[in-house]
Structures are given as C-alpha cells and as structure tokens.
Amino acid sequence: TISGRHFWEGMNAQCSFGRYVVSANVTSNRTIECISPTSPGSQDTSVPLRLLVDDKPAQQVGQVGFSYRADPIITSLLPSSGPAGGDHAVTVIGENFVSGALLRCYFGSSAVPAGTVSSTRMLCNAPAMPTGSVDLTVSVDGVASSTALEYRFRKEVKVLRLSPSQGPMRGATLVTVFGSDFPVDGDLQCRFGAAEAVRGEWVSASSMHCSSPASDAGNRTLEVSVNGAGFTRE
C-alpha cells in the first residue's frame, strides 16, 4: 500500500519495483495498492519503489524502498508434541527468522505471537487445542514459511500416586509413578521439588519409573514432564 495525496479514481497508475513495473489500484484519494513482483534474487534484498502516473514518476518525498525477504523455513520442533491444555513453550528451528519483525506461529489455523532467539530459532507458546496432530507453520512480517511440520497435541498426563512415597536422603530410590496417559514415545522426566529433572522410564500408559536424587530431609512435590513441555504435579 502506497500512501500519498491527490489520487483519483481512474488515474493511470503503476508501481515500479526497481526495473519491474506492475499495475496499481487506487483505493482512496490517499492510498494506492499494488502487488509486488517476484523477488529478483533468492536472498534478502531491497529495491527502489516508485509510483508512475501516465508512465512518468510521481512527485516523491524522500527515498522509498521495498524489501524482499527470503521465505522462512522450519526444519525441526522442540518438542514436537505437548499437552492439549497448551501454555507450553515450543522452539522452532529453521532459517531466515528476523529479529524485530512481526513473528507468528500457526498451530493449524490458530495463530500465536512468537519471538526470535536467533536467526535460526523462534519461540512460541502452544495454544490449547483438541488432541491430535496439526501442521505448524510460521510467518515473518506476513511472509509464511515454505515448509510445515507436524505438531501433536496429546492428552494431559496425570500423576495419581507414588510407590514408595519416601526414601533415604542419599537418593537413588527407584520410584514407581502411577497415573494415566504416559506416552510410550515421549521423553519422560521427573522433578523432585526444585532439584534438576531426572530421566524417567516408561513402563505402561499408567506407570513409569524414575530414580530420586540426593536431597536434604523434607517433603518434595514430584512432577512429571513429557518432552519438556511443562510439568504435571502429583
């Protein structure tokens, strides 16, 4: 959209993107719209943008340029699944992410804001969704990614009880966690209070094992995580 003054319906207007000229559409006496042609290269580049009226350049204040950006590409997701309740972080790994640009993650048709960690990493919070798989895509300033990856929303893991529910301070107690919806293909972890999470071992959809860490005496809340997507409390 080009903003200016004294545009009129029926004017013979065109937009010049560098050496490429395309037709323009007058939408009001102050705005004109035109569709950018294909980028002259595969990398980020800028070209001068001018408005032509009757094939002649219109009066212009200052230099106006139009920037082409390479399409964002996504190559992997960390994690690639999470609880249907949402509100867990997903790291999108790829290329051509731009700091300061308007970034979005799309879980199917549901859009959420995103932020850049680097030109190859974006971070977004998954929304609440029904269980099942959706295509995850991203956009940078409205330019959609040329690739999509599957993200799976699974049932919420529930922790019901522990056996044993206590152990020595030196740790290394094998604890069986009973609950529901433990996925066989998930990266299971247990966290005892504020201690660093330890790896869990899947036994069945309703039970898993983990080994307690060394700790001072006292009660600790045990939480379970699948693929690092949040922790579920006992």
Q: Kindly state whether residues 44 and 82 are assigned to the same domain.
A: no
pLDDT digits (tens, 9 = 90+) for 117-159: 899 999 999 999 999 999 999 999 888 998 999 999 988 889 9
Q: Kindly state whether residues 139 and 85 are assigned to the same domain.
A: yes
- Closest by CA to 130, choosing from 148, 110, 145, is 110
- Closest by CA to 91, choosing from 151, 153, 157, 154, is 151
Asked if residues 126 and 87 have their Cβ atoms less than 8 Å apart, the reply is: yes
- Closest by CA to 222, choosing from 198, 200, 190, is 190
**The domain boundary residue, chosen from 124, 154, 184:** 154
Q: Kindly state whether residues 139 and 80 are assigned to the same domain.
A: yes
**The domain boundary residue, chosen from 154, 176, 211:** 154
pLDDT digits (tens, 9 = 90+) for 60-96: 644 577 877 788 999 999 989 888 888 889 999 999 8
Q: Kindly state whether residues 95 and 123 are assigned to the same domain.
A: yes
**The domain boundary residue, chosen from 154, 176, 207:** 154
Between CA 94 and CA 105 the distance in angstroms is 13
**Alpha-carbon distances of 75 from 82, 93, 116, 149, rounded to whole Å:** 18, 6, 15, 8
- Segments forming the whole domain that contains residue 166: 158-233
Q: Kindly state whether residues 135 and 164 are assigned to the same domain.
A: no
Cβ atoms within 10 A of the Cβ of 138, count? 25
Question: CATH number for the domain including 135?
Answer: 2.60.40.10
- Looking at the structure of the chain, the number of domains it has is 3
Q: Residue 59 has what pLDDT?
A: 66
Q: Kindly state whether residues 137 and 169 are assigned to the same domain.
A: no
Question: What average pLDDT score do residues 92-115 get?
Answer: 93
Q: Kindly state whether residues 222 and 164 are assigned to the same domain.
A: yes
β-pairing, 81-83 vs 149-154, is parallel
User: Which position has the higher pLDDT, 173 or 48?
Assistant: 173
User: Which position has the higher pLDDT, 12 or 206?
Assistant: 206
Q: Kindly state whether residues 84 and 128 are assigned to the same domain.
A: yes
pTM: 0.67
Q: Kindly state whether residues 20 and 93 are assigned to the same domain.
A: no
